[in-house]
Amino acid sequence: DGRDLRRLTDDLARDRGPRWTPDGSAMLFYSNRGGSYAAWSIRPDGSGLMKLVEDARGFIYPSMSPTDGRVTVLSDSRLEAYILTPPFPATGDRIQVLPNAAVAGGYISPSLWSRDGKWLSGAWVSSSGEPSGAAVYDVAAGRAHQLTTDRGIWAAPFLPDSRRIAYFSASSELVVVDFPQGKRRVVAVTLPLPAAREALVIAPDGRTIYYGAQRIESNVWKVERQ
């Protein structure tokens, strides 16, 4: 209800990309507190800070499967995706590259799981490294599918039916894609401020969208020489 605002980290590290675990018992995020970026978790009361992966490579945007507790992460270059298998921190062969992530001359950069644990959603990234559409990944089949060519997308959360994803395009259009049907629909909405396309969450009942707004401004300063 907005009355309990609580700060969970207070340090010099860059703590970013917070996401709840499916059961709400912890929050996943990535941080450079150990030098390079890595995936971490923390409980809602600020206790239980734990690194999710022990590896020299950098990892960002952790997201947990609602069915088996596995966690997907991206390399900090966003060029590869990995699946971490519990228990955590994951090491060795419990850090696996997501197979067959390439599609249509690019690759999927997955960031979110569907409610049924069967799909991953994320950006379709061109060979130049630019986010150039939305994509989904069939976890059981190990296959990626490019859905759209809307640019600038990173987060595309699933609606509760696990058949549709939603995201804001570069022009702040709210887009809903029914990917089994191959249908893309723009929902008419007027935003008070442009949407920050990485910060988008759909409530469990699918009736409310929470998004981060962005405002860019500049100020003019005067300096007097003494």
Query: Residue 1: what pLDDT?
Result: 65
On whether the CB atoms of residues 179 and 167 are closer than 8 A, the answer is no
C-alpha 157 chain-centroid distance? 8
Query: Residue 2: what pLDDT?
Result: 67
3-state SS of 181-215 is CCEEEEECCCCCCCEEEEEEEECCCCCCEEEEECC
pTM above 0.85, yes or no: yes
pLDDT digits (tens, 9 = 90+) for 177-223: 999 999 999 999 888 888 877 788 999 999 999 988 878 888 899 99
Query: Residue 191: what pLDDT?
Result: 86
* Under-70 pLDDT residues of the chain: 1-2, 78
